[in-house]
Structures are given as C-alpha cells and as structure tokens.
Amino acid sequence: MKKIITLFSLIVSTVLYSQDVYLNGFSLGYKAGYCYNILGCVAPIAPIGFIDVKNDYQTGYNNGFVKGQQDQAYNNQQVKNGGVKGQLSPSIPDYDISFDPEVMRKMWGDYYERRRVKKEEKTKQNEFLIKMVTEHTIEVMVEMDKLKIRLKEKNISDKEIENIIYDLHYDNQKIYNEYKNEPKKYKQFYKKNLELKERIIKMSPL
C-alpha cells in the first residue's frame, strides 16, 4: 500500500512540475509573440495557457508565442474599429523636427562669439598678471639697491655687501623664474615676493 501511495505522489509531482515548466514557457512565449517586431512594446499579462499533450518548456513557449501574436492582431483590429480602451498598441510619437536655419546659425554664432570674448578676456587677464609679476620683481630689485646704499653708509665692507645682495638677487630671480609664465599661481608668487621684501626691510640698518 505504501508503495502505491509513494508511486502516486511521484506521478502527481511530476505532472505538476511539467505543468509549471510548460506555463513558464507559455508566459515568456506570449510576451515575445505579442511584442514581436514592435518597438517599445509592453506586453500585457499572459493569459492562462491551455495545457498541451506535451508539457515541456519549448512547447509552452511556442504555443504562447502564437497566442501572443493572435492577441496582438486582434487588439490592432479592435483599435482600427474604434477599439476598447487599454488595448492600444504602443507606438512611436511623431516629432516635429523642422527648424529655421537662420535661427540655428544665429544660435551657433552667439555661442562662438561668447567663447571668443571669454578667451580674449582670459588672455588679457593672464597678460596683466604676468606684467604684475615682472613689476613686483623689479620693486624687489629697487629695495635691494636701497639696502646696498644703507649698508655702505654703515661702513659695511664691500665684500659683505656683495654677498648679501647676491643672496637676495638669487632668491628674487628664482621666484621670478618660477612664476613668470604661471599667471594662475599669481597668489603664490605675491606671497613669496612680499616675504622677500619684508626680509630686505629687516636687513636694513637703522
């Protein structure tokens, strides 16, 4: 008796599994058939598939595909005849892509003009900053000359004065060479330049 029950349970499980496999195939086939060669299509929920003698996935998929195409054709016919709401097949809307060439030319002309003006302003700004780098460097040289005069007035030896001025000149030239072509780094230059000026002032005898 137990063997009969076990065998019966096995048969029922096999049949149910086969039906699930078939229905999964039917559902996927239905969606593929309904939307076949239709761009942007969203298929509706697949109906309950009829059970075929062959309960395998491929048979379910094929039957679902055919059913999907049939429903799509039916819905299209309904739409042409005044249709039922909700059965419209998705379509690609028509867009008006016409444009006035003159408007496009003006738009691009304005765009390139703004770019030209912006580039020109940037160039002028960079030239101004580079000029400022040169002027501040010269200002340090003027302070060095003043320091040299004051040191001589205090009877500092020429050799010692020469060494002091040489070191200052080296630092001044080094800062200039580092930033003369780097207008974007003007703030860094100005900070170092100011520090050198203050250093010269502190070296000046009272």
pLDDT number for residue 128: 93
What pLDDT was estimated at residue 84?
45
Residue in 196, 181, 195, 197 with CA at minimum distance from that of residue 129: 181
Q: For position 52, what pLDDT does the model report?
A: 57
Q: Which two tokens stand for residue 25?
A: 């195939």
CA 21 to chain centre: 44
Note the pTM of the prediction, 2 decimals.
0.46
pLDDT of residue 50: 60
Q: How confident is the model at residue 89 (pLDDT cuts 50, 70, 90)?
A: very low
Domain ranges of the chain: 2-80, 121-203
pLDDT given at position 13: 43
Measured distance CA(15)–CA(20) in Å, rounded: 9
pLDDT at 54: 60
Residue 110 near residue 156 (C-beta atoms within 8 A): no
State which amino acid sits at residue 24. N
Residue 66 has pLDDT above 60, yes or no: yes
Reading phi first (left if > 0) and then psi (alpha if -120 to 50, else beta), residue 155 is in left
Contact assessment for residue 135 and residue 176, using Cβ atoms and an 8 Å cutoff: no
pLDDT band at 206 (very low <50, low <70, confident <90, very high): low
DSSP string, 49-115: PPPPSS-SHHHHHHHHHHHHHHHHHHHHHHHHTT--TT-PPP-PPP------HHHHHHHHHHHHHHH
Cα torsion 23, 29, 33, 36: sign? positive
Q: What is the CA radius of gyration of the chain?
A: 44
Q: Exposed e or buried b for every residue in 117-142, given b needs 16+ CB within 10 A?
A: eeeeeeeeeeeebbeebeebbeebee
Q: What is the pLDDT of residue 199?
A: 92
Residue 5 binned pLDDT confidence (cut-offs 50, 70, 90):
very low
pLDDT in tens, 167-205: 999 999 999 999 988 988 999 999 999 999 999 988 887
**CB-based contact 151:164 (threshold 8 Å):** yes
Distance of CA 110 to the CA centre of its chain: 25
Average pLDDT taken over every residue of the chain = 78
